Amino acid sequence: MSAVALDGPGSTFTDRIFELLNVADFRRADSDADREEIFRLRYSAYLAEGGIAANFEKRFTDPYDDLGNAWIFGVYIDDKLASSIRINVATKDFADLPSLGVFPEFLMPELEAGKIIVDPTRHAVDRDAAARYPGLVYMTMRLGWMAAAYFNADILLAAVRSEHQAFYRRVGGHRVVCPARPYPLLHKPISLMTLDYQAGRGRVEHRYPFFRSTNFERRMLFERLQGGAVPERAYADRELTLAADPVRLVR
């Protein structure tokens, strides 16, 4: 890692992100040890910015971490946890989603209409790693983008504080559908932004090519051979249409 120049002379923003992508390791947190490390990183990150109250256990988790439609990931650099994110995938038949309880009037009609929604939440970054690798936020955001591709999503959410709206508007083209509201367990209110993923994918990946991924990479991260919740309409690379049979998620 130390031999890689992540900010060399003449390097562009995209070059630096690709260099970081080459040394970053994306891991699904399947073991108790990996999950615990992520819960503690979450706690440190959210506490530092005043997002949550301190607790004796020094860990931050909630029931959505344990659902069958949840994937928790860590981004590692030099084998050290640098950031993490949780991704929940919802359909009409499996509607459990962190953002649904806060923004039901905006999300339930979409689910009832048969839409697949990807909800990336609990984005946490180690402060030292963020200072050393400014592109780390893009690497972490990329996991939500890959989930949308893998599950052939219709809508990609961003449930964020008001001050973060400009970033998601600029990078993903998300639009605000609801101003900030109180959000469970968080001290600061959260707004809801949505992106029509199918319409925006080409535009975003053209501008930010490091968001592109292969079907193999997505399968390695999201495919679970036993348990979990995996939509049948899962692979965007296959010739699937919205007229296909309703998606069924199995815990």
Query: CATH number, domain at 107?
Result: 3.40.630.30
Question: Is 158 a member of any domain?
Answer: yes
What is the per-residue pLDDT across 205-250, written as a single tens digit (0 to 9) for each? 999 999 999 999 999 999 975 444 545 444 333 333 323 333 323 2
- CA separation for the pair 143, 23 (Å, rounded): 15
Question: Is 237 a member of any domain?
Answer: no
Question: Is 230 a member of any domain?
Answer: no
What is the per-residue pLDDT across 160-190, written as a single tens digit (0 to 9) for each? 999 999 999 999 999 999 999 999 999 999 9
The pLDDT, as a whole number, for residue 248 is: 29
For the chain, what is the radius of gyration of the CA atoms?
Answer: 18
Q: Summarize the confidence of residues 192-205 as an average pLDDT.
A: 97
Q: For 8-17, 37-46, 48-57, 236-245, which range has the lowest pLDDT when averaged over its residues?
A: 236-245
pTM of the model as a whole: 0.86
Q: Summarize the confidence of residues 84-110 as an average pLDDT.
A: 96
Place 9 in a pLDDT band, splitting at 50, 70 and 90. Answer: very low
Percentage of the chain exceeding pLDDT 90? 83
- CA separation for the pair 15, 23 (Å, rounded): 13
- CA separation for the pair 185, 47 (Å, rounded): 12
Q: How many C-beta neighbours within 10 Å does residue 96 have?
A: 19
- CA separation for the pair 63, 24 (Å, rounded): 28
Question: Is 135 a member of any domain?
Answer: yes
Place 134 in a pLDDT band, splitting at 50, 70 and 90. Answer: confident
Q: Is pLDDT of 137 > 50?
A: yes
* Residue 59 belongs to domain spanning: 13-222
The pLDDT, as a whole number, for residue 8 is: 46
Question: Is 167 a member of any domain?
Answer: yes
Report how many domains make up the chain: 1
Question: Is 194 a member of any domain?
Answer: yes
Place 122 in a pLDDT band, splitting at 50, 70 and 90. Answer: very high
In 3-state terms the chain splits into helix, strand, coil percentages (rounded to 5) of 35, 20, 40
For residues 204 and 211, is the Cβ–Cβ distance under 8 A? yes
First to last CA, the chain: 39
The pLDDT, as a whole number, for residue 238 is: 33
Question: Is 243 a member of any domain?
Answer: no
Question: Is 251 a member of any domain?
Answer: no
